[in-house]
Amino acid sequence: MRGTGAVGRRAQRAKWHPTVDRTDNVLLLLDSDKLPIFEPGLDDIVAACKNKNLFFSTDVHKHVEEADIVFVSVNTPTKVKGIGAGYAADLTYWESAARMIASCTFKDKIIVEKSTVPVKTAEAIEKVIKRNMPNSGCRIDVLSNPEFLAEGTAVADLMSPDRVLIGGRQTESGLQAVQKLVSVYAHWIPRERILTSNLWSAELAKLTANAMLAQRISSVNAISALCEVTGADVEEVARCVGTDSRIGGKFLRSSVGFGGSCFQKDILNLVYICECNGLKEVAEYWRQVILMNNYQKRRFVHRIVSSMFNTVNGKRIAVLGFAFKKDTGDTRETPAIDVCGGLLADNATVCVYDPQVTEEQVHQELEEGQFEWDHPHRSPSKKLFSKQILCYKNAYEAAKDAHALCILTEWDEFRDLDYQKLFDNMVKPAFVFDGRNVLNHDHLRKIGFVVYAIGKPILLD
């Protein structure tokens, strides 16, 4: 496997390793007792497989030359400058990997795309490899095998996925390559869950899946705004809608907004592809999913400021949760960036607690420009907001002398906090802004909190 990005770090139950990367410090961490990412259950899998059928190495050329199948899991970040900046995927790392693979190709190989890529990327990769490999007589087949693991449940998704998708060219050679990869997954995945398709369908399916999941979140978030002004309850609406078997209940939970490394990046990529193919109306349709997500975050900040007498200047706001979702330390595109940024712009003091996010991560996310997180030149934080952003080791310390609590990540531990204790140590009136709808709001009001929640009727005290 080439690359140790978020996809490449997944330990997998087949004999295709070693995993190789040119980044020594990443591989040292992967080969240590403490993995550089938090993912429930991943430590146990890596420990069980390491030095048996899972190996880590920086000797890229040696292992790629020996391999029959090469999985490529390099970054495909959103471009930050040049043509397509802010939308298009930057394939610099993919092309670099392809040229390196070409230089090591002295026998037939199957190259597998694991990264999320624009449609037709495989065609470009084929050209780069075939025109640069030393032995022009070697057979090269490029397959698309997009990753559908979700952070926080990646191990469970790996062991029992809804589906595995493998796309290849509909030629004799391409179909044979597809079946070879099918046989690898068939070691632990029922054959009926292994889907095969043509190459372009597989590449587009990943973008479409993420776009449609994000679309559902933005759809219910749009309704949450209407619920707040009409007295409806978004959770009741979502439950009623979700019981329709044609719709289903997944991804209908309203929140402060979606985040993570995939949804926004993939939708923007989809928008760019549509625009490049002259599909303006289609591009605008998908762009609205992003615009609604941005609106939801702005709306949440406005609710905080307007509820607290139209100013948070000099006030301490305790932010509980900075990761984009629970059970991960991933802060890429987390809604907390925009919420904290809005509060900082109004001169609030933001007190952050997240069980898996470091102080360095918090400062880094708030200092960097959009999309910089996925590029390798990322520099250490300069602590530009060191007087306004304070990080704590538990929720009670973060909430001490705070004017408000903001729940921005749905960590289970936040449900079980002693809210009477929190209330007693806060400035009054004490506010709670539940951006994930995970708390018992009636209980909080009985304690004395002024409570605002996403998509819930606004109760004026």
Phi-psi region of 393 (alpha: psi -120 to 50; beta: other; left: phi over 0): alpha
Residue pair 67/183 in contact by the 8 Å Cβ criterion: no
262 has catalytic annotation: yes
Cβ count within 10 A of residue 133: 19
Half-sphere exposure of 197 (CA within 13 A, CB side): 17
Active-site hit among 227, 262, 274, 340? 262
Task: Write the CA distances from 319 to 72, 134, 176, 313, integer angstroms.
Answer: 37, 56, 53, 16
Residue with token string 């952050």: 352
Residues with Cβ within 8 Å of residue 380, at least 6 apart in sequence? 360, 364
Q: Which residues are catalytic?
A: 262
